[in-house]
Amino acid sequence: MAKRVRCFMVLCMLPILLMFSSCENKADSVIKGMQMGQTQEEAEAVSGRLEVHFIDVGQGDASLITCDGHAMLFDMGENDKSVLLQFYLMRQGIDHLDYVIGSHPEADHIGGMDVILLKYDCDKVILPDVVVNTATYRDVLEAMEYKNCESTVPQVGETYDLGEAFFTIIAPNEDDYGDNINNYSVGIRLVHGENAFIFTGDAEIQAEEDMLGNGIPLDADVLKVGHHGSHDASSAEFVEAVSPKYAVISCGKENDYGHPHKETLAILEDAGAEVFRTDEMGNIIAISDGTDLTWNTEMEDVWQGDYYVGNKNNRKLHRSTCSSLPKERNQVIFESKEEAVKAGFTDFCSGCKP
List, for residues 288-338, the tens digit of each pLDDT value.
Answer: 999 999 999 976 555 556 788 999 999 999 988 888 888 887 899 988 888
pLDDT value at position 36?
Answer: 43
Section 123-135 average pLDDT: 97
Q: Which of 5-9, 50-54, 84-88 has the lowest mean pLDDT?
A: 5-9
The more confidently predicted of residues 46 and 205 is 205
Average pLDDT, the chain: 88
Residue 305, Cβ density class (10 Å: 0-12 exposed, 13-18 middle, ≥19 buried)? exposed
CB within 8 Å of 308: residues ≥ 6 apart: 317, 318, 319, 320, 333, 334, 335, 336, 337, 339, 340, 345
| Stated pTM of the model | 0.83
* Helix pair 2-18, 24-35: axis angle to 10 deg: 160
Q: Which of 14-28, 114-128, 241-255 has the lowest mean pLDDT?
A: 14-28
Whole-angstrom Cα distance, residue 66 to residue 72?
Answer: 7
pLDDT value at position 13?
Answer: 44
pLDDT value at position 353?
Answer: 79
Q: How far, in Å, are 123, 151, 226, 231 from residue 292 at the CA level?
A: 30, 34, 24, 30
What stretches of the chain show up as alpha helix (H) in DSSP? 2-18, 24-35, 40-44, 82-91, 107-110, 113-119, 135-146, 205-212, 236-242, 262-270, 278-281, 337-342
Q: What is the torsion angle, in degrees rounded to the nearest 10, for the CA atoms of residue 248, residue 50, residue 77 and residue 90?
A: 140
Q: Is pLDDT of 21 > 50?
A: no
Q: Is pLDDT of 134 > 90?
A: yes
Q: Is pLDDT of 14 > 60?
A: no
> In which band, very low, low, confident or very high, does the pLDDT at 25 lie, cut at 50, 70 and 90?
low
> In which band, very low, low, confident or very high, does the pLDDT at 351 lie, cut at 50, 70 and 90?
confident
Whole-angstrom Cα distance, residue 339 to residue 193?
Answer: 36
